[in-house]
Structure 1
Amino acid sequence: MVPRIARLDSRALIRVTGPDARPFLHNLLTQDVETLAPGHLRFGGLLSPPGRLLFDLFLLGLEDGVLLDVAADRREALLQRLAMYRLRAQVGVEADAGGVFAAWDGEVDGFIPDPRTPALGGRRLGDGVETNATEDDWQAHRLAVGVPDPAADTLSDKTYPIEADFDLLNGIDFQKGCFVGQETTSRMKRRGVIKNRMLPVAFDGPALPFGAEVLNGDLRAGEVLSGRDGAAMALMRLDRIDGDLTVDGRAVTVRRPDWSGLQDEKRARSGLRARLMTD
């Protein structure tokens, strides 16, 4: 199979350089930046102080700093936010004109494996790449793998990073210490109070409308996010993902992607119920 390569025009770059570039970002972001080696790629986010997701981003280590891959329509807002936090740090923050590319269905030289899950393929930040696919093709692939796109799926500033599966997709380093919003994020993970997650849903027919309610019988079970014909992401209540689910009267089914660990969780719950019934 010939690998597919697409330019992601929905993404843009920010270059952060200077002697304080790594500690500056390290103290802000959910990801460990100080140990990020040149040429290595990590996934993370910038949160609000209460712990809500503001920006998802990829971090590419450079010799003189870090290159950030961010949502194109949010780049200016992130530049302003970083300028607000910069204070006296010896850091340069500027937009970079390079492109963002994704490759899948095979390995391609010059692409770094996507840090969220190898099933997504690879990513490259820069230019000089020939493409043979569109960003719409990439979005279809992403939905097939079942990975959320926080830029498209985040509900304003209401979403917690764990609800967007950052903890399952290598987007949060819980060992690194403080970052903006760290207290709420760590408490949710430590106490296991995760009630909602973004998960892929499958159905027959045309795309479901963004924001449509997912019902489990008569009970609200979730909300549709980005999608296309036959597939979508939805923010789902974990205690209502099993059963007869519908959206506007159409049957939908929640998929449990391999990377999510929800298959093991479901088997564990089933095993616990079986043991309780036999005790």
Structure 2
Amino acid sequence: MKFIKGVAVNQPVFAVLDNRGLLHVSGEQAHSFLQNLVTCDVDQVAATGAGFGALLTPQGKIQFDFLVVKTAEGYLLDTPAPLVADLKKRLTFYKLRAKVALDDVTGSTQVVAVWRGKADGADGVHVIEDPRFEALGQRLYGPAETIEALLAQGGAKDAGIEGYERHRIGYGVPQSVADFGMGEIFPHDADMDDLNGVSFTKGCYVGQEVVSRVHHRGTARKRFVSVTSKTPLPDPGTAIETGGKAIGALGSSTRTGDGFKGLALLRLDKAGAALEKGASITCGQESVAIELPGWARFGWPAQETAAD
């Protein structure tokens, strides 16, 4: 490991994500069961070890989102901890006579994020690269004692959940519960298409027709983008405005360096028009700047397409 003025370069940083829960889907039909329900291609998850996906409402809105992790017996669904029981209940509704077992393993399996470096594997620990965006780092799943020893051996530094939130928000990656409620928005709104969370080739799943129509017609009107400010950003849900009219709302935010950064779900046409005109954009009483995340494949629509 190299050091510059006492600071380790590429020293792994980690956070125990006790705000995440885990549902294990196992059984001889676990693969086909999930493949027919979720937005991501479970064939690809089986091949690569991990994926990002969601279970949608029939109307195409995000009901639950999760990382999907391949295990020897099936798949782990890594989702916000408060939603595990509801996710299990919803999947049980779809289960019918399928040979599938659904087990909440939150208490026995720890979830840890590692970034700025790599963690090695160990017996009983699943190590994956975050399938949404490479710079987010790794996720580790396993017994707390084993992971603790593994990270200590690698010299990793504990940044806590707040450190992980700075990391996530800094890269402009939205997260359910923190940035949006369940059943409120579509996958394109949450940038899931650009974060490897939606397959447009695997075939049918719940809500697939709506998602496919939005994608092929290019009709996604709202997206999460990054918001920066020199002053602290207000509470989530605060309107983002230009010309006295709301164009969206703020999600989560954090301090980054000498400023503050957050995420906001905005009308792209209205936000793009404001940028074209050089108009002031505010959140609460403060001026803010907006920008697309570096990984985004979508862009600002032309000014003339903005609706009143």
The TM-score, its normalising length taken from structure 1, stands at 0.91
For structure 1, which segment, 10-19 or 123-132, has the greater mean C-alpha deviation from structure 2 after superposition? 123-132
Quote the offset at 1:63 in angstroms: 2.4
Quote the offset at 1:38 in angstroms: 6.7
> Of 83, 94, 115, which aligns to 2:92?
83
SS at the partner of 1:153?
A: coil
For structure 1, which segment, 139-148 or 213-222, has the greater mean C-alpha deviation from structure 2 after superposition? 213-222
CA contact (8 A) 2:15 2:159 kept: yes
> Of 147, 168, 171, which aligns to 2:197?
171
User: What are the ranges of 5 or more consecutive residues in structure 1 without an aligned counterpart?
Assistant: 273-279
CA–CA distance in structure 2, aligned partners of residues 91 and 115 of structure 1? 25
SS at the partner of 1:76?
A: helix
CA contact (8 A) 1:212 1:248 kept: yes
Corresponding residue for 1:105?
116
Quote the offset at 1:108 in angstroms: 1.9
CA contact (8 A) 2:179 2:236 kept: no
The TM-score, its normalising length taken from structure 2, stands at 0.83
CA contact (8 A) 1:69 1:125 kept: no
Provide Cα deviations, 1:1-58, integer angstroms capped at 9, x if missing partner.
Answer: 2110111011011111111000001111001113432771100011111011011101
- Report 1:12-23 matches (<5 A): 12-23=21-32
> Of 20, 38, 45, which aligns to 1:36?
45
- TM superposition outliers: structure 1 runs of 4+ over 3 Å: none
Check if 1:191 corresponds to 2:221.
no
Aligned-partner residue type, residue 198 of structure 1: F
Aligned-partner residue type, residue 101 of structure 1: V
CA–CA distance in structure 2, aligned partners of residues 228 and 173 of structure 1? 31
CA contact (8 A) 2:70 2:76 kept: yes
> Of 223, 236, 249, which aligns to 2:285?
249
CA–CA distance in structure 1, aligned partners of residues 195 and 280 of structure 2? 28
Aligned length: 269
For structure 1, which segment, 103-112 or 68-77, has the greater mean C-alpha deviation from structure 2 after superposition? 103-112
Quote the offset at 1:231 in angstroms: 1.5
Give identity over the alignment, percent: 36
CA–CA distance in structure 1, aligned partners of residues 52 and 93 of structure 2? 22
Corresponding residue for 2:124?
none
Aligned-partner residue type, residue 57 of structure 1: F
> Of 215, 218, 225, which aligns to 2:241?
215
CA contact (8 A) 1:13 1:69 kept: yes
Provide Cα deviations, 1:89-140, integer angstroms capped at 9, x if missing partner.
Answer: 0001111120111111122223321111111111112232236220110001
> Of 184, 193, 201, which aligns to 2:227?
201
Aligned-partner residue type, residue 129 of structure 1: I
Corresponding residue for 2:14?
5
CA–CA distance in structure 2, aligned partners of residues 231 and 77 of structure 1? 31
Corresponding residue for 2:169?
143
RMSD of Structure 2 on Structure 1 (CA): 2.0
